[in-house]
Chains A and B, each alone.
Chain A
Amino acid sequence: MVEHEDEQSDDENHEPTSFLTKYVWSQDHKVIAVQYSLTAIAIGLVALVLSWLMRMQLGFPGALEFIDEDAYYQYATMHGMIMVIYLLTAIFLGGFGNYLIPLMVGARDMVFPYLNMLSYWVYLLAVIVLTASFFVPGGPTGAGWTLYPPQSILQGTPGYEWGIILMLTSLVIFIVAFTMGGLNYVTTILQARARGMTLMRMPLTVWGIFIATFMGLLAFPALFVSGVMLLLDRVIGTSFFVPEIISLGDPLAYGGGSPLLFQHLFWFFGHPEVYIVALPAFGIVSDLLSVHARKNIFGYRMMVWALLAIGVLSFIVWAHHMYVSGMDPAFGFFFAITTLIIAVPTAIKVYNWVLTLWRADIHMTVPMLFSLSFILTFVFGGLTGLFLGNVVVDVPLSDTYFVVAHFHMVMGVAPIMIVFGAIYHWYPKITGRMLHGAMGQIHFWVTFLGTYAIYFPMHYLGFVGVPRRYYSYDEIDFIPESAHDLNAAITVAALIVGAAQLLFLYNVFWSLRKGEKAPANPWKATSLEWQTPQTPPAHGNWGKELPVVHRWAYDYSVPGAEEDYLPQNMPRQPFEKSGAHDPHDDKPVTDLQESDK
């Protein structure tokens, strides 16, 4: 399937002319990126609305009559799956990956443009199949986004009829789409870099996307395997995962299957997946901080190593999601250790971000605000992860709102902050217009403060013991009255944050027409995508000549330079003696080489 080769070789530089080939069946990575992003945002809006509905039920039980138990579980399931897979994974890799990789490494396009186009259309098909489950008899599945069998495929779970079948089918299709895209991203980075662009000169954004894609290529097969097997259990009655079950007094035809096998497969995918979403955000935030603080990233090599280490380690921590599945304590001990170890490279990254900001020339632009909030939120969620990583702490907190708070902080809010930061940052390049700054500021502050109003109290709810995935808490005695009031307050905050996102969307569409015209390099950034001859970049990206790279991507505020940044394709200047610039300090590099020995 990889071998769709030759399409590009003959028509590489022929610009498509008709509307259809230019914007619909396009093989241009920039168009595909926009297609991916818009589709992801559209389906993400559905998930956002579902979250409002859930919050209404939790904050004001019974206020919306059409939300019954089944509907609540269906909303929760679809919300989680859409946000994790169809929004975040798709927008970071299919969206930003597609747009930024060729531009940042100095290529004309992805190396397999036809496959790239196919990837988008197959992704769209996955989204359509998923959306279809809202309209079939029985509605979408309500199994929870983890889809644990046996309940996910047995009668009594909403969506038993068609919802679960469509969900699994859609996931399998998504994985096919991802594989086609992923092969492209990785191969392009390995093979199509401009002259002088060594791996260690790539911006960290590309590194983050690169490693996340690799992880996806190795982790998604686990979801594929479990998805196919679960589908067969449901459709033709195999017993991969379903044990003997007596339902309403009658034994079912299943026997001997292992629900734990599913959990292992699912989390072998599921934990890497959380880093698949996190690593591109790590990469992007590094670049945003450096650009908007006019300083080189602190510890570039360490940043790359940390990404690699996280990528490897995240494949051996999966069972920390299964502490309460009845595992051998020795097993739990092993996974607690690996889970705590992964915090080390993660912490290194955080230190380096903070040190990048140390005595920097911080511009409080909207992308910078989002980046700062990312660091704060990610640290917050990472710390609660350390709590949950310990078996004895996790057991009482498992399946409570503490877990909900943890993963929303770390994989919900933090990466979304970077999605926004990145859109505010690259929008001028993509569209040629600036986003409206004041609207951006309002959007930021409401989102930032609002998400804390939502998730901060959830930690407390978790400590009180409020379980997650409950439709109603009315008849549970140990839950105090105050928890209900808190839930109402959270709902109000959630609706306000939701409204702020509509303002963002309005800004995106308004600025397309009325936004201030953007210069080619509004942030005075060094990386190649800002050095294209046209803005937005034309088909083929670079005009006649491919760029040649002479330096890394972080030459900001170099002493002796006229401007406070040196683009990657700028040849070496007379004032640069032996190397460009030392990453650890502001001293010129010659001093360091001595002390480095």
Chain B
Amino acid sequence: MSFFKTVTSKPWLDDEAAFDAAPGGGAGTLKTKRVGLFIFIGVATALFALFGVAYYMRMMMGGWHMLIEPTILGANTVVLIVGSVLMQWASNLSTRGNMRRAKQAFFAGGFAVLLFLGGQYMAWQELIALGCYADVNPANAFFYVITGLHGLHLLGGLFVWARALLRTVDGADDAAISASIELCDYYWHFMLLVWLAIFGLLLST
């Protein structure tokens, strides 16, 4: 039912039987987890968007110097894109039932994010070596905070990824694994989008 239809229904008037058939009880199903994940993505979007707004507003005030973008960021971006593609591939494979290859792609997709995080750490080191500390330039401070939070969100994803891997080793059934693959797939894409937005923001200012 569309949202509009839902909020205009009159369940006390119309034929009641139609409403009695509304399905119930979805705890623990994949669909429920997907809904939960999408809502979480909404929350994280609000969080990063607000950082973006704060960034723009602060940029207009005094004491702001252009950020010296660490050179490694381009390479990191490529790694994250690869990770997302691998996850997508894993998801396609698992829907087609090729679980062995799917698991391999799933593993590689998570591994790419680990690499990305290592790269981000090197980006931080690069800035620190240049003397670009958080307290000398608010642009630096924003860089550390936003990439730091992005990294924390990725770590959350990796936690789920690692647990799914452990369960593969324990021989969990394919349905459970492919559910994890699907959820990670969405999340990986989302985190890639967030990173692209952050990167674009940094490059354009």
Say if the beta carbon of B75 comes within 8 Å of chain A. no
Question: A106's contact among B10, B11, B24, B138, by CB below 8 Å, is which?
Answer: B24
**A8-B27, A195-B25, A236-B134 are known contacts. Are A550 and B16 too (CB-CB below 8 A)?**
yes
CA of A8 to CA of B149 in the docked complex: distance in angstroms? 29
Interface 9-residue window, one of A218-226, A332-340, A461-469: A218-226
CA of A2 to CA of B15 in the docked complex: distance in angstroms? 38
B25 touches A589 (CB 8 A): no
Q: Which chain B positions have C-beta within 8 A of A592? A: 13
A192 touches B25 (CB 8 A): yes
CA of A199 to CA of B33 in the docked complex: distance in angstroms? 19
What is the minimal beta-carbon distance from A407 to any residue of chain B, in angstroms?
24
Interface 9-residue window, one of A47-55, A179-187, A287-295: A179-187
Q: Which chain A positions have C-beta within 8 A of B50? A: 221-222, 225, 265, 268
Tell me the B5-57 residues at the A interface (CB within 8 Å): 6-16, 19-29, 31-33, 35-37, 39-40, 42-43, 46-47, 50-51, 54, 57
B13 touches A201 (CB 8 A): no
Q: Which chain B positions have C-beta within 8 A of A301? A: 7-8, 10
CA of A195 to CA of B16 in the docked complex: distance in angstroms? 13
CA of A220 to CA of B85 in the docked complex: distance in angstroms? 32
B54 touches A221 (CB 8 A): no
CA of A5 to CA of B37 in the docked complex: distance in angstroms? 11
Question: B24's contact among A197, A240, A551, A555, by CB below 8 Å, is which?
Answer: A197
Interface 9-residue window, one of B120-128, B175-183, B191-199: B175-183
What is the minimal beta-carbon distance from A209 to any residue of chain B, in angstroms?
15
Question: A257's contact among B24, B46, B61, B187, by CB below 8 Å, is which?
Answer: B61
**A217-B42, A240-B58, A582-B13 are known contacts. Are A196 and B22 too (CB-CB below 8 A)?**
yes
A225 touches B28 (CB 8 A): no
A546 touches B24 (CB 8 A): yes
B7 touches A200 (CB 8 A): yes
Q: Which chain B positions have C-beta within 8 A of A108? A: 25, 27
Tell me the B157-196 residues at the A interface (CB within 8 Å): 159-160, 176, 179-180, 183-184, 187
What is the minimal beta-carbon distance from A227 to any residue of chain B, in angstroms?
12
What is the minimal beta-carbon distance from A171 to any residue of chain B, in angstroms?
14
**A3-B187, A225-B54, A256-B64 are known contacts. Are A193 and B24 too (CB-CB below 8 A)?**
yes
Say if the beta carbon of B141 comes within 8 Å of chain A. yes
Say if the beta carbon of A548 comes within 8 Å of chain B. yes
**A108-B27, A196-B22, A265-B50 are known contacts. Are A256 and B42 too (CB-CB below 8 A)?**
no
Number of interface residues of A (CB under 8 A): 84
Q: Which chain B positions have C-beta within 8 A of A578? A: 13, 15
CA of A112 to CA of B24 in the docked complex: distance in angstroms? 16
Against B, the Cβ 8 Å flags (1 = close, 0 = not) of A578-590 are 1111110000010
Q: Which chain A positions have C-beta within 8 A of B10? A: 200, 301, 579
A198 touches B176 (CB 8 A): no
B43 touches A221 (CB 8 A): yes
**A187-B39, A238-B135 are known contacts. Are A5 and B19 too (CB-CB below 8 A)?**
no
A111 touches B27 (CB 8 A): yes
Q: Which chain A positions have C-beta within 8 A of B39? A: 2, 183, 186-187, 217
A218 touches B27 (CB 8 A): no
Chain B interface size range: 35 or more
B61 touches A3 (CB 8 A): no
Say if the beta carbon of B156 comes within 8 Å of chain A. yes
B26 touches A256 (CB 8 A): no
A552 touches B40 (CB 8 A): no
Cβ-closest chain B residue relative to A105? B24
CA of A253 to CA of B15 in the docked complex: distance in angstroms? 71
Tell me the A524-581 residues at the B interface (CB within 8 Å): 546, 548-552, 554-555, 572, 578-581
B9 touches A200 (CB 8 A): yes
Q: Which chain B positions have C-beta within 8 A of A125? A: none
Say if the beta carbon of A495 comes within 8 Å of chain B. no
Say if the beta carbon of A9 comes within 8 Å of chain B. yes
Say if the beta carbon of A408 comes within 8 Å of chain B. no
Q: Which chain A positions have C-beta within 8 A of B183? A: 3, 5
Say if the beta carbon of B68 comes within 8 Å of chain A. no
What is the minimal beta-carbon distance from B177 to any residue of chain A, in angstroms?
11
Say if the beta carbon of B200 comes within 8 Å of chain A. no
CA of A191 to CA of B26 in the docked complex: distance in angstroms? 5
Say if the beta carbon of B74 comes within 8 Å of chain A. no
Say if the beta carbon of B131 comes within 8 Å of chain A. no
A546 touches B25 (CB 8 A): yes
What is the minimal beta-carbon distance from B155 to any residue of chain A, in angstroms?
9
Cβ-closest chain A residue relative to B23? A195
Q: Which chain A positions have C-beta within 8 A of B187? A: 3
| Chain A residues within CB distance 8 Å of chain B | 1-6, 8-9, 12, 106-112, 179, 182-184, 186-188, 190-201, 217-218, 221-222, 224-225, 228-229, 232, 236-240, 243-244, 253, 255-258, 261, 264-265, 268, 300-301, 304-305, 308, 546, 548-552, 554-555, 572, 578-583, 589, 592-593, 596
| Chain B residues within CB distance 8 Å of chain A | 6-16, 19-29, 31-33, 35-37, 39-40, 42-43, 46-47, 50-51, 54, 57-58, 61-64, 134-135, 138, 141, 145, 149, 153, 156, 159-160, 176, 179-180, 183-184, 187
Offer 17 A-B interface pairs, CB within 8 angstroms, sorted by A: A3-B33, A3-B180, A107-B25, A109-B27, A191-B29, A192-B32, A195-B24, A196-B21, A197-B22, A198-B9, A198-B11, A200-B7, A256-B62, A257-B58, A301-B7, A549-B20, A580-B16
